[in-house]
Amino acid sequence: MSIEVVFEKRINNTNVCRDVDVVQRRQYFLLTFLFAVFVLGLLLYGWQQYRFLRLGYDISKLKERKEELLEDQRRLELDRNLWASPRYIDSTARNDLGMVVAAPGQIVSLSGDDLNSTPPSVDVAAVR
């Protein structure tokens, strides 16, 4: 059986003043600076990639919108050409609006001198 003896000595280190290690502090600041530059570069790269993807999505949306607008333009040009045709105007006037060709007494022509005078009276009952 062995006996172990431990001596305890309390040491107060509050009065100890350590010298600053200049080399270690310089290495610490250099490492911190390099890490900050690395993180900044990483953030800039990530932001660039995000903007690249976002602009790609925006471009594709704008291309789709352009195609929609071109299709609308083609449709409107076809409608304009249809509505401007004399046959369409005539059939719409006759069928939808109930218009008929004017009778001989219904048309009154005015010249520049007759603008201040009243047109001759026409018997509406006789024309129908």
Position 120 scores a pLDDT of 59
Q: Where are the domains of the chain?
A: 22-99
**15, amino acid identity:** N
Structure tokens at 88: 């369409």
Q: Are 119 and 110 contacting, i.e. CB atoms less than 8 angstroms apart?
A: yes
User: How far is Cα 107 from Cα 89, in angstroms, rounded to an integer?
Assistant: 20
CA distances 118 to 109, 111, 112, 123, Å, are 12, 12, 13, 15
Beta-carbon contacts of residue 100 (< 8 Å; ≥ 6 apart): 94
In this predicted model, which residue has the larger pLDDT, 21 or 114?
21
Q: pTM for this one?
A: 0.49
80-126 pLDDT, tens per residue? Answer: 999 888 898 888 888 988 888 888 888 887 776 655 666 556 555 55
